Homo-oligomer: A and B are copies of this chain.
Amino acid sequence: MTKIKATNITWHEGHVSRQERETLLNQKGTLVWLTGLSASGKSTIAFTVEHALVQRGHLAFVLDGDNVRHGLNKNLGFSEEDRMENIRRIGEVGKLYVDTGIITLTSFISPYRRDRDANRALLQPDEFIEVFVTAPIDVCEERDPKGLYKKARAGEIKGFTGIDDPYEEPLNPELVIHTDKVSPQEASVQIISLLEKNGRIPALDA
């Protein structure tokens, strides 16, 4: 190690450790994987958690269709192969984010168990939290903020999850949130409490 006076830095060789970054951030990198039907409430919950965490001084970030489908995955369509690659890439970016120490929330339908489990397998057990966001499909269909169910029913969209493509429910998610029964705020409290309980973020003083 060489001391350079001008910048007051001790020089290191090699990589910054995961632990050094996590100490800096006062949190442990975690991937909170939200899965569920279109209009089940994933994004609202993800952004509510993100806001609450940032307000508490934590670095959180949401990966969703808006910032992934139009960027990293803009060369993917909706074939089975492309959907699998879509979720695979998101899992790999999630792993990079976790390695960076960030509380990362992903908001994608991610209908296939196999693809979600493959992403879980990229991480340590305590780094991956699968949250099944669910409401009866007729509730989702009534919400339909983007008019997608309507288009799927009209046959304008093919292979729409829940209509003519399957959604495989998680078998052992860390959390199940029924959005026809709890508010996004209540859902967020559940997720944040789990992050605290698992030691990913420190609990607030009572």
Task: List A residues at the B interface (Cβ < 8 Å).
Answer: 2, 4, 6-16, 20-21, 24-25, 44, 47-48, 50-52, 54-57, 59-63, 67-68, 71-72, 75, 85, 89, 92-93, 95-97, 99-102, 122, 184-185, 188-189, 192, 204
Majority-rule SS of A interface residues: helix
- State A21–B163 Cα separation when bound (angstroms): 38
- What is the CA–CA distance of A101 and B60 in the complex, to the nearest angstrom? 11
CB-based contact B51/A192 at 8 Å: no
What residues of chain B lie closer than 8 Å to A47, measured between beta carbons? 13-16
Contact A50:B96 (CB < 8 A) given known A7-B189, A9-B55, A59-B59:
no
B192 near A7 (CB under 8 angstroms)? yes
Contact B96 A62, beta carbon cutoff 8 Å:
no
A185 & B11 in contact (Cβ 8 Å cutoff): yes
Copies in the complex: 2
Question: Which residues of chain B are near A51, meaning CB under 8 Å?
Answer: 11-12, 14, 16
Q: For the A-B complex with A15-B47, A72-B89, A72-B92 known, give 7 more contacts whose Cβ atoms are closer than 8 Å.
A: A7-B189, A9-B55, A12-B48, A16-B60, A21-B59, A21-B61, A72-B93
CB–CB A52/B99 < 8 A: no
Q: In the bound complex, what is the Cα–Cα distance between A192 and B4 (angstroms)?
A: 13
B9 and A56: CB pair below 8 A? yes
B15 touches A62 (CB 8 A): yes
**Cβ–Cβ < 8 Å partners of A122 in chain B:** 71
13 interchain pairs, CB-CB under 8 A: A8-B204, A9-B52, A9-B56, A12-B51, A15-B62, A16-B54, A16-B60, A61-B99, A67-B96, A72-B89, A72-B96, A97-B100, A100-B102
Q: How far is the CA of A48 from the CA of B54 in the complex (A)?
A: 29
